[in-house]
Amino acid sequence: MRWNLRMKAAEAGIWKSTEMRRRLADAGLEVSGGKMAALWTGTPTMIRLDDLDVICSVLECTPSDILITEPEAVAARKPAKKAATARAATKRSAPPGRHRSRPPA
């Protein structure tokens, strides 16, 4: 995911984090200076849905405008198909000395 808060804020005429913080407070979301700086300058690892709802309300956008999917990044994380197949085959065979019945097909 790519965090797109600054671009959406700029589109709404908000150029400084202090202005965004003030508008969030006016909408009922009190954000500390440190948290606002983190939201403004980086990509958060976690955000509350309630907070995202207020941010979207202030910017008059949807979550998909702020959180942009990156399918190529997901594809790059997938293991190679050959390795995945080998791991699956290893999991299916019983370890030596243990005799387990196979699950019904």
3-state DSSP call for residue 85?
helix
Report the SS3 class of residue 90: helix
Q: In this structure, which topology does domain 2-68 adopt according to CATH? A: 434 Repressor (Amino-terminal Domain) (1.10.260)
Extents of the domains making up the chain: 2-68
Tens digit of pLDDT at every position of the chain (105 positions): 899 999 999 999 999 999 999 999 999 999 999 999 999 999 898 999 999 999 999 999 999 999 999 888 888 888 877 655 666 655 665 556 666 777 777
Single out the residue of 1, 84, 12, 96 nearest to residue 55, CA to CA. Answer: 12
65/5 Cα distance (integer angstroms): 8
